Amino acid sequence: MAHALIVIDVQKDFCPEGALAVPEGDAIVGPVNALMTDAEAVILTQDWHPAGHSSFASSHVGKSPYDLIDMPYGPQVLWPDHCIQGSLGAQFHRELHADRADLIIRKGYNPAIDSYSAFFENDHVTPTGLEGYLRTRGIDNLLMVGLALDFCVNFSAVDAAKLGFGVTVRTDLCRAIDLDGSLAAALDGMRAAGVVLEAGHG
């Protein structure tokens, strides 16, 4: 029962002073690095948007960040421009041990659709390739940490559980945006999907 550590979007734009800062987003970096030493595989995800992405509020006339719109694949929160390909904000936090990664999965690079989950774009159909990678390596248990708990970590964890992986989320090594009750809803949804929520000791 091999296990992997999945580190979700620990990037500059999601840390304090970033374009889409998650409160205390940088506080998890040290403990996450420590977890890497015991993991049989380390996988990092990286938000990687082209400029003018359809999930950016700036791409929609008269819309503001955090407005909700309907896209062909369902409801979409509009975000501040963030994690633009090749930008400083898209880089991993400078103290994250990114060189320990076996694999880096980039997501959100399709300009027409956002991608919260490490496994699927937001249409819940188009795969990122992560499932195939894990299957071929014989990995069936996942420990997830990162940013933000109520969006990308949540979607990744629920998708992984639906795919049949054993999933644990270390909630102490995540931070949330908490947009209009999104944190409570995400925690309930993860529990319902069979995700183990663990406060840990870090």
Amino acid at 39: A
Pairing of strands 74-77, 166-175: unpaired
Catalytic residue among 15, 152, 159, 174: 152
Q: Is 107 assigned a catalytic role?
A: yes
Catalytic residue among 26, 107, 159, 174: 107
Give the SS3 label for residue 152.
Answer: helix
Catalytic residue among 9, 47, 150, 159: 9
Q: Is 102 assigned a catalytic role?
A: no
Q: Which two tokens stand for residue 150?
A: 């109520």
Q: Is 12 assigned a catalytic role?
A: no
For residue 103, the number of C-alpha atoms closer than 13 Å in the C-beta half-sphere is 18
DSSP codes of every residue in 60-88: STT--TT-EEEETTEEEE-B-S-SBTTSG
What residues are labeled active site? 9, 107, 152
